[in-house]
Structure 1
Amino acid sequence: MRSMTLDAPTLEKLISAAVAAPSIHNTQPWRFRLDPDTVTLEIRAAADHGLHHIDPTGRALHLSVGCALLNLRVAVAHFGWEPVSRLLPRPGEPDLLATVRFGGTARTASSPRLYDAVWRRHSSRFPFSERPLPAAVLTELAEAAHSEGALLSSPAPRETDRLLQLTTEAERRNTADADRAGESRLWVRDPNHSDLGVPPEALGPQDSREQVPMRDFGAHRHPAVPASRPFEKRPSIAVLSTQHDSRADWLRAGQALERVLLTATAHGLRASLLHQALEWPDLREQLVPWPSDRRDHAQMVIRLGYGPQGPSSPRRGASRTLTEGASSVPR
């Protein structure tokens, strides 16, 4: 689709694409503002949507915003502009995480399958089948991460078992920590009364084999959560990492994560994010597959496979994420 006029309906579609991105606990920790003079969209952190116990450094918040930024870039290119993005453009405004300027006609053709995947992608916390992932697809996912400056590793079975054990230990700690457990329960929301958080029916069951450690969210308190079921015997796990670990690297990792997830969606794959071990510094250090010729920084653990789509989580409308005065667009 090509539309070189940024009118109100187009702006709404662009913001809707951005907010379709995944975010930790579906907190949607972003705000958008349009500068009509430069035709630039600003993406700012919504600090009131932060997880102060689970994500005290804001790393996961930056990853979430990075995912939204990638979706916005895909949508801007879909409508015919060249998305010119900058990370952390004004040091004096730490909440301004990125900007996207609408450049001239897009230099390369947009990918219809990625834009289509923006609207179809969401996490599935349900059991996957035993069907193996094709090697060609895994290669394409790694290339998607590399194009955004990140590394996607697919560990061997023994290494996968070790990563799952680390995630299990993190889940045990999270459940035992009253502040973290309470914060997780706070974000389990009724979609009829909230456009934030995870609805109970989207939480999914626990693994009856106790091998795949899905986040509990205090699920036993919610009768809509399915009972435990057997998950796949050999989960397909991938680790997303970056060479450095600055705020800009977190934003790059978020863009890489979302490009991987959109590519997986385009291939009919489901994904869920195993973030628990990243929330404990000592466990996070052990997540990068070993041995390795470089000590990268783990940013996300992704479980991939074929299986049910699972219920979606709600999203805030575009008008609710635009700051005051940002609805005016150039004519």
Structure 2
Amino acid sequence: MLSPYETAVAAQRRPALEHADGPLDLRELVRLATLAASSHNTQPWRFRLGAAAIAVVPDFERRCPVVDPDDAHLFRSLGCAAENLVQAAAAQGHAATVHFDAPEQCLTVRFEPSAGLGPTPLSRALVHRQCTRRPFDGRPIAADAGALLEQAGTVGRARTRLIDSPALRDTIIDYVRAGDVAQLTDSAFRRELIHWLRLNDAEALATGDGLAARTSGQPSLPRWLARPLLRFVLTGQGQADTDTANIRSSPLLAAVLAADDSPAAWVDAGRAYERLALQATALGIRSAFINQPVEVPSLREPLRRALGLAGETAQLLLRLGHGPVAPYSLRRPVEAVIEVDA
């Protein structure tokens, strides 16, 4: 028998609607868009429905000013949601174009019927994609799969570079470890992170967002018991050791790069990541973020030099590998994220 948490996940992640012709189901598109990745699972988006378009609007009340002071992750998250709209529309026989309006700070995704479109491996992966915090089993990723991942992770001004160099892996581990210590010894970062932790199933079900304990393998505990334990669990050294082991279990790392560091580039980086992650999911490959060297300002330039970048910026870092499916995180109801005209 499914628990209430598992029942909610099953409802939110039911298979995408598929048909080759007919009108678009815009609410179905929004459901699938909400399954996109976002920092701390904050889901910082709202959706404005039009006749043949959906505007993806930032929800700045859900921003993370400590870990993401310039809102780069927020706009990457909007790009992730927009890419899900593109893939979900294809499953309903519609082509989609994405336009970022910098002055308005929103994305508009427009749809039109296309006889050549239908369900794809990426559209079917929408309900299965996840960011897992678990170690992988070390099995290698085939070269032809790597080529598909790099191809999928190229959108607009963003591209994906796969990393299999042992020396560069060790350097990235050093930067991730330094980032873990810097973040988890910062009281403001800890407060912000704890704000988004859902320490038991009841909290996760009540909010539909945040980092649920079960997704990281932690027991579901009442807040009065779990909160005092966090000072022993959330330590820089402990997290650094966990991340080191997780990275070493991963046969490939990947960096999502962009031609510049503007909001438009952040959006493209989000789209590139989401398409990469969907392609990985379709291939049975898991992915997980290791963004600490991107998030800690003092580590960005050393990372850029280590990657040998000339002009490009590192937008996201992740690890790739094989392993079991982890528990899924929850999402807010569609009704909570659709803007209704007053």
Same fold at TM > 0.5: yes
Q: Structure 1 residues 26 and 107, CA, compared in 2 at 3 Å: closer, same or farther?
A: same
| Secondary structure in structure 1 of the residue aligned to 2:279 | helix
- Maintained 8 Å contact 2:155/2:268: no
4+ residue segments displaced more than 6 Å = none
Match of 1:19 among 34, 56, 60: 34
- CA distance 1:145–1:107, change in 2 (3 Å): farther
Shift of 1:108: 4.4
SS of corresponding position for 2:303: coil
Equivalent residue runs for 1:90-169 within 5 Å: 91=103, 93-94=104-105, 97-103=106-112, 105-106=113-114, 108-155=116-163, 156-169=165-178
Q: Deviations over 1:270-312 (max 9, x none)?
A: 1111122211222122324746363310011111100121111
Q: Structure 1 residue 298 and structure 2 residue 314: aligned?
A: yes
Q: Distance in 2 between matches of 1:100 and 1:233?
A: 39
CA distance in 2, matches of 1:260, 1:218: 35
SS in structure 1 at match of 2:95? strand
1:83 and 1:106 in contact (8 A); partners too: no
Q: Find the residue that maps to 2:87 and give its secondary structure.
A: helix
- Is 2:207 the partner of 1:172? no
- Write out aligned runs for 1:186-265 (5 A): 186-189=195-198, 190-204=203-217, 220=233, 231=246, 233-235=248-250, 236-265=252-281
Q: 1:46 Cα shift?
A: 0.4
Q: Aligned to 2:96, what secondary structure does the other structure show?
A: strand
Correspondent of 2:323 among 301, 304, 307: 307
1:231 positional shift: 4.1
Secondary structure of the corresponding residue to residue 83 of structure 1: strand
TM-score w.r.t. the length of structure 2 is 0.82
- The question of whether the paired residues in 2 share the 8 Å contact of 1:196 and 1:316 is answered with yes
Aligned partner letter, 2:62: H
Partners of 1:21 and 1:83 in 2: CA distance = 17
Partner of 2:154, secondary structure, is helix
TM-score (normalizing by structure 1): 0.84
Shift of 1:148: 4.2
Pick the structure with more helix per residue.
2
Q: Which runs of 5+ in 2 are unaligned?
A: 1-18, 219-229, 235-241
Q: Cα distance, 1:219 vs. partner?
A: 7.8
Partner in structure 2 of residue 212 of structure 1:
none
The one-letter amino acid paired with 1:167 is V
Question: Partner of 2:178: helix, strand, or coil?
Answer: helix
RMSD: 2.3
Deviations 1:178-223 (A, max 9, x none): 0011101110113232201010111247xxxxxxxxxxx86827xx
CA change 1:323–1:147 in 2 (3 A) is: closer
- What amino acid is aligned across from residue 53 of structure 2 in structure 1? T
Structure 1 position 62, deviation (Å): 0.5
The 2-side partners of 1:312 and 1:84 are apart by: 29
Indicate the larger mover: 254-263 or 181-190: 181-190
Shift of 1:83: 1.0
Cα distance change, pair 291–245 in 1 and its aligned pair in 2 (3 A): closer
How far apart, in 2, do the equivalents of 1:106 and 1:288 lie? Answer: 41
Say if 1:158 and 1:108 are closer, same or farther in 2 by CA, change over 3 A.
Answer: farther
In the superposition, relative to structure 1, how do residues 296 and 323 fare at CA in structure 2: closer, same or farther (>3 Å)?
same
Identity of aligned residues (%): 30
Structure 1: state its 5+ residue gaps: 206-216, 222-227, 327-331
What's the CA shift string for 1:14-35, capped at 9, x where partnerless? 0011000010000000000112
Cα separation, 1, equivalents of 2:91 and 2:194: 37
Question: Kindly tell me: are residues 33 and 85 of structure 1, through their superposed partners in 2, closer, same or farther at Cα, counting changes over 3 Å?
Answer: same
1: distance between equivalents of 2:212 and 2:276?
24
Which residue number in structure 1 is paired with residue 8 of structure 2? none
What does residue 286 of structure 2 align with?
270
Say if 2:97 is the partner of 1:78.
Answer: no
Question: Which 10-residue stretch deviates more, 195-204 or 241-250?
Answer: 195-204
Q: Determine if the alignment matches structure 1 residue 325 to structure 2 residue 334.
A: no
Q: Which structure 2 residues correspond to residues 60-75 of structure 1 after superposition, within 5 A? A: 60-75=73-88
Q: Are residue 87 (structure 1) and residue 100 (structure 2) matched?
A: yes
